[in-house]
């Protein structure tokens, strides 16, 4: 069944064109894909149209892709926010048993239904601002039983909500208390869990936190070796607080993405460019932790590294559920252009998840798009703190709140 969406302003984000803007544009949808997109005057002839929608001049963009989130957890860490304002550092809080470990304790203590209910509400908040595809990382379980639980809940989100959910195993997120002083033993355990988690169909990618408060490059390499043996792509929390050489390591494995990157080096950027690895910038964490070291945006541009933007929703360093605010922060804090920011949460966000069937409005792409009550896409990036009423189409079907 072919559906026509007509009389809209399309921001197709086609390659090589400014915004890919099409005035008085139209979309032909054969669910779940786009059959055609372009000027309404050029609609193909002879198509049997079963249903028609008048967009009344509204802006249409590809559905947003939030390629880095930690949605499944319990508890909150507002006290840590207060402590940082009083002078404690992120590292000091983590080493004192706060940070990730405190969220692990709360998450392990919550039942599956509670965790799902909390994650569902967060996912719906993202969808309310135009997100149609998102990634959910584990990493707040830190045992085989609890990591599997979090990944199953993420899979349930994808089954029960009108969203595509990609799951990433981030068991190498932090050292759990029961492995204190035995980081290598914990990495051995993580590597032993991956085959079972993969066999259950719970894992789309594998991530790690390569940092002086987390895991070393050699430990990260062992996790990536285990992922590679299973045919799983890798991603990396890299160079957020210091330069550990994580970008070079991840690029050597053909990583889908390296995320954060405030301390990325020229060598790391060259390695990412050569491997096609996406740079995922996370302005929410930069802002919330009051960081001052900017990611090397000019060097990434010059090297031709694709730049994605994501919310990094998590309870400790980026407790935001507003992708539109992240687009604004990417411009105001990192000096991206509005078009770079929107491409970062559409086509490049999809690429960071290994997805090439979404992120633009073009034939054969998924019919995932958002309809906005604004005239130009730069308005989505400009108006921080605003929440325009958006209609969201996933696989050609309009979702309902």
φ, ψ for residue 324, nearest 5 deg: -65, -40
Buried/exposed 206-228: b ≥16 CB within 10 Å, e otherwise? bbbbbbebbbbbebbbbbbebbe
**pLDDT tens digits, 222-262:** 999 999 999 999 999 999 999 999 999 999 999 999 999 99
> What does the alpha-carbon distance between residue 383 and residue 134 come to, in Å, rounded to a whole number?
23
C-alpha–C-alpha distance, residues 13 and 26, integer Å = 15
Q: Is the pLDDT of residue 324 over 80?
A: yes
Mean pLDDT of 157-181: 97
What distance in Å separates the CA atoms of residue 101 and residue 309, rounded to the nearest whole number? 26
Lowest mean pLDDT, pick from 120-124, 179-183, 273-277, 386-390: 386-390
Average pLDDT for 188-200: 98
Output b/e per residue, 387-398; b: 16+ Cβ within 10 A.
eeebbbbbbbee
Whether the per-residue pLDDT at 368 is higher than 70: the answer is yes
Distance CA 239, CA 256 (A): 16
**In the structure, what pLDDT confidence band is assigned to residue 334 with cuts at 50, 70 and 90?**
very high
Gap between the Cα atoms of 284 and 297, Å rounded: 16
Q: What is the pLDDT of residue 401?
A: 65
Task: Give every CB contact of residue 367 below 8 A, 6+ residues apart in sequence.
Answer: 27, 29, 30, 31, 32, 33, 34, 393, 394, 395, 396
Three-class DSSP category at 305: coil
Structure token pair of residue 100: 């990730």
pTM: predicted TM-score of the whole model, two decimal places: 0.97
User: Could you tell me if 358 and 368 are in contact, meaning their C-beta atoms sit under 8 angstroms apart?
Assistant: yes
The Cβ-side half-sphere exposure at 32, using a 13 Å CA radius, reads: 10
Q: Return the ∠ at Cα 36 (arms to 11 and 355), rounded to 5°.
A: 70
Please check the confidence at residue 94 and state whether its pLDDT lies above 80.
Answer: no
pLDDT (0 to 100) of residue 15: 80
Residue identified by tokens 């997109």 is 37
Tokens of 339: 């078009």
Q: In the block, which residue shows the tokens 């559920």?
A: 321
Q: What is the pLDDT of residue 273?
A: 98
Domains identified in the chain and CATH numbers: 2-61+360-398 (2.30.40.10), 64-352 (3.20.20.140)
List all residues 6 or more positions away from 128 whose beta carbon is below 8 Å from its beta carbon: 387, 390, 401
CA distance 309 to 300: 13
| 291-314 residue pLDDT tens | 999 999 999 999 999 999 999 999
Confidence of residue 362 (pLDDT cuts 50, 70, 90): very high
C-alpha–C-alpha distance, residues 166 and 202, integer Å? 9
Q: Are 338 and 100 in contact, with CB atoms under 8 Å apart?
A: no
Residues 322, 2 contacting (CB under 8 angstroms) = no
Concatenate the DSSP letters of all residues of 126-189 into one string.
Answer: HHTTTEEEEEEE--S--SHHHHHHHHHHHHHHHHHSSSEEEEEEEEETS--GGGTT-HHHHHHH
| Whether 138 contacts 103, CB under 8 Å | no
């Amino acid at each position: 069944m072919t559906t026509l969406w007509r009389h809209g302003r399309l921001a197709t984000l086609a390659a090589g064109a400014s915004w890919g803007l099409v005035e008085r544009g139209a979309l032909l949808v054969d669910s779940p894909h786009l059959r055609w997109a372009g000027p309404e005057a050029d609609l193909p002839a002879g198509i049997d149209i079963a249903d028609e929608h008048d967009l009344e001049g509204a802006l249409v963009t590809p559905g947003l892709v939030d390629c880095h989130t930690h949605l499944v957890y319990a508890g909150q860490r507002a006290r840590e926010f207060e402590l940082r304002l009083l002078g404690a550092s992120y590292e000091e809080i983590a080493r004192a048993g706060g940070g990730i470990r405190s969220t692990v304790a709360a998450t392990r203590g919550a039942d599956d239904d509670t965790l799902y209910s909390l994650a569902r509400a967060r996912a719906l908040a993202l969808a309310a601002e135009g997100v149609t595809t998102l990634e959910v990382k584990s990493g707040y379980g830190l045992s085989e039983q609890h990591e599997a639980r979090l990944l199953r809940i993420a899979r349930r989100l994808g089954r029960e909500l009108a969203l595509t959910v990609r799951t990433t195993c981030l068991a190498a997120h932090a050292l759990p208390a029961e492995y204190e002083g035995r980081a290598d033993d914990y990495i051995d355990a993580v590597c032993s869990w991956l085959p079972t988690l993969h066999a259950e169909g719970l894992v789309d990618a594998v991530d790690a936190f390569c940092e002086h408060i987390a895991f070393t490059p050699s430990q990260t390499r062992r996790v990536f070796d285990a992922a590679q043996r299973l045919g799983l792509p890798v991603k990396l929390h890299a160079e957020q607080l210091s330069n550990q050489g994580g970008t070079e390591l991840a690029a050597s494995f053909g990583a889908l993405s390296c995320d954060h990157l405030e301390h990325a080096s020229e060598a790391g950027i060259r390695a990412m460019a050569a491997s096609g690895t996406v740079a995922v910038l996370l302005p929410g964490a930069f802002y919330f932790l009051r960081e001052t070291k900017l990611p090397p945006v000019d060097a990434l541009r010059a090297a031709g590294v694709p730049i994605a933007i994501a919310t990094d929703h998590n309870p400790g360093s980026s407790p935001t559920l507003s992708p539109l605010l992240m687009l604004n922060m990417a411009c105001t804090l990192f000096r991206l252009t509005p078009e770079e920011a929107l491409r970062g949460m559409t086509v490049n966000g999809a690429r960071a998840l290994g997805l090439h069937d979404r992120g633009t409005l073009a034939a054969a792409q998924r019919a995932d798009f958002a309809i906005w009550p604004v005239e130009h896409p730069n308005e989505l990036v400009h108006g921080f703190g605003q929440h325009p009423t958006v209609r969201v189409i996933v696989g050609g079907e309009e979702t309902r709140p």
